[in-house]
């Protein structure tokens, strides 16, 4: 019998790495399907109410591309947690994008969007999930005083007040407090920053929003009600599904980030029941879809 050839150590390491990557992506693949009930229902409701296909079609295309890019992102081999340098760069870049909304002519005094080619993107919906992940990676709300990221967090909350965007400001405050409570030890400055962010969010609710609601954006649940009780119940069920991936089986040192993203999303979903705010994924809007998949892909990393 011929002697069995040994597998070269380099090839063996590659096989192990591929196996771990496949296992990681496969284990969390179900989470990538959770937003699609809301996306599909929203598209059907908009179609029933004669909303142009360019609107609901963009939502569906954005969802498919977001899921595909998330799979590619997760399949890459890289460190399990975000480095301090990467977290710092991400935080400052995301804050800069939110600040850039004031460099663009607003609508009726409201500054929430940035223009990227033919698209108008809602800066907060895209960038706040990135900021929450970055602040979690920096342990900004932990037991050690982190002045720079905490001041940046307060600065972003101030921008949300000035825009104004009460839904995003409140959701951001919810994410910040989740990161704070996840730590057994919390620095006094972290407590102070979280309280200031919450007060700024409360103040944002007192600022009038002059923009009229759009039926298929802020009023999509109302359109579902007009379509019938079954459509309304299905829409509510689809919205309930959205935060589940961020709360199911969190593990690892960064699981607080996934929970913070989940709280952020829950507040974004509930806010439209208290005011004229976009309904994420169910209503028209590419930005909440981008923000959702960004948070979802990064929450996979937090579960390793």
Burial label for 92, CB within 10 Å (0-12, 13-18, 19+), is middle
Mean pLDDT within 12-35: 60
Range in 32-46, 79-93, 183-197 the model is least confident about: 79-93
Out of 3-7, 8-12, 197-201, the most confident range is 197-201
What local confidence, expressed as pLDDT, does residue 28 receive?
64
pLDDT band at 167 (very low <50, low <70, confident <90, very high): very high
* Nearest of 119, 284, 275, 123 to residue 215 by alpha carbon: 284
What local confidence, expressed as pLDDT, does residue 185 receive?
87
Mean pLDDT within 271-277: 94
Q: Are 156 and 198 in contact (CB under 8 A)?
A: no
Q: What's the pTM value of the predicted model, to 2 decimals? A: 0.89
What local confidence, expressed as pLDDT, does residue 18 receive?
41
% of the chain with per-residue pLDDT over 70? 85
Q: Is the predicted pLDDT of residue 296 greater than 50, yes or no?
A: yes
Q: What is the pLDDT of residues 122-138, one digit of tens each?
A: 999 999 999 999 999 99
107 DSSP β-pair partners: 110
Q: Tokens in use for 304?
A: 């390793």
* Nearest of 101, 107, 118, 213 to residue 160 by alpha carbon: 101
115 DSSP β-pair partners: 120
Q: Tokens in use for 280?
A: 């994420």
Q: What is the residue-wise DSSP string for the chain?
A: -PPPPPPPHHHHHHHHHHHHHHHHHHHHGGGGGTTHHHHHHHHHHHHHTT--HHHHHHHHHHHHHHHHHHHHHHHS---SS--HHHHHHHHHHHHHHHHHGGGS--BTTB--EEEETTEEEEHHHHHHHHHHHHHHHHTTTSSS--HHHHHHHHHHHHHHHHTT-HHHHHHHHHHHHHHHHT-SS--HHHHHHHHHHHHHHHHHTTS---SPPPTTTTTHHHHHHHH-HHHHHHHHHHHHHTTHHHHSS--STTHHHHHHHHHHHHHHHHGGGTSS---TTTSS-HHHHHHHHHHHHHHHHHT-
Range in 5-9, 27-31, 269-273, 297-301 the model is least confident about: 5-9
* Nearest of 130, 68, 76 to residue 304 by alpha carbon: 76
What local confidence, expressed as pLDDT, does residue 26 receive?
52
Q: Is the predicted pLDDT of residue 175 greater than 80, yes or no?
A: yes
Q: What is the pLDDT of residues 65-114, one digit of tens each?
A: 999 998 887 776 555 567 889 899 999 999 999 999 999 887 888 999 99
Domain boundaries, the chain: 31-302
Mean pLDDT within 48-75: 92
CA 119, distance to chain mean position in Å, is 19
Mean pLDDT within 144-160: 95
What local confidence, expressed as pLDDT, does residue 17 receive?
45
What local confidence, expressed as pLDDT, does residue 21 receive?
46
* CA 149 – CA 209 distance, rounded (Å): 29
Range in 159-163, 183-187, 194-198, 284-288 the model is least confident about: 183-187
Q: What is the residue-wise DSSP string for 201-265?
A: HHHHTTS---SPPPTTTTTHHHHHHHH-HHHHHHHHHHHHHTTHHHHSS--STTHHHHHHHHHHH
pLDDT band at 300 (very low <50, low <70, confident <90, very high): low
Q: What is the pLDDT of residues 235-253, one digit of tens each?
A: 999 999 999 999 986 454 4
Q: Is the predicted pLDDT of residue 9 greater than 90, yes or no?
A: no
What local confidence, expressed as pLDDT, does residue 109 receive?
83
3-state secondary structure 90-107: HHHHHHHHHHHHHHCCCE
């Amino acid at each position: 019998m011929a002697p069995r050839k040994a597998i070269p150590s380099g090839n063996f390491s590659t096989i192990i790495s591929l196996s771990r990557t496949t296992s990681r992506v496969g284990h969390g693949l179900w989470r990538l399907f959770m937003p699609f009930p809301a996306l599909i229902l929203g598209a059907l409701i908009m179609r029933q109410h004669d909303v142009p296909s360019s609107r609901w079609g963009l939502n569906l295309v954005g969802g498919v591309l977001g899921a595909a890019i998330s799979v590619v992102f997760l399949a890459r081999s890289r460190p399990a947690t975000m480095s301090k340098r990467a977290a710092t760069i991400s935080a400052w870049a995301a804050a800069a994008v939110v600040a850039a909304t004031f460099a663009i002519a607003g609508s009726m005094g409201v500054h929430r969007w940035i223009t990227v080619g033919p698209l108008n993107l809602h800066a907060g919906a895209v960038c706040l999930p990135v900021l929450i992940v970055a602040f979690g990676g920096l342990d900004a709300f932990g037991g050690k005083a982190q002045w720079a990221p905490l001041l940046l967090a307060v600065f972003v909350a101030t921008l949300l007040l000035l825009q104004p965007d009460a839904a995003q400001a409140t959701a951001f405050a919810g994410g910040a407090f989740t990161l704070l409570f996840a730590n057994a030890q919390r620095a006094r400055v972290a407590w102070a920053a979280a309280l200031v962010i919450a007060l700024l969010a409360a103040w944002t609710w007192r600022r009038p929003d002059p923009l009229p609601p759009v039926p298929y954006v802020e009023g999509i649940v109302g359109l579902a009600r007009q379509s019938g009780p079954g459509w309304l119940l299905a829409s509510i069920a689809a919205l309930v599904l959205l935060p589940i991936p961020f709360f199911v089986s969190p593990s690892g040192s960064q699981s607080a980030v996934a929970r913070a993203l989940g709280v952020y999303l829950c507040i974004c979903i509930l806010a439209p029941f208290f005011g004229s705010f976009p309904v994420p994924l169910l209503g028209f809007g590419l930005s909440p879809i981008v923000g959702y998949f960004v948070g979802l892909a990064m929450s996979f990393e937090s579960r390793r």
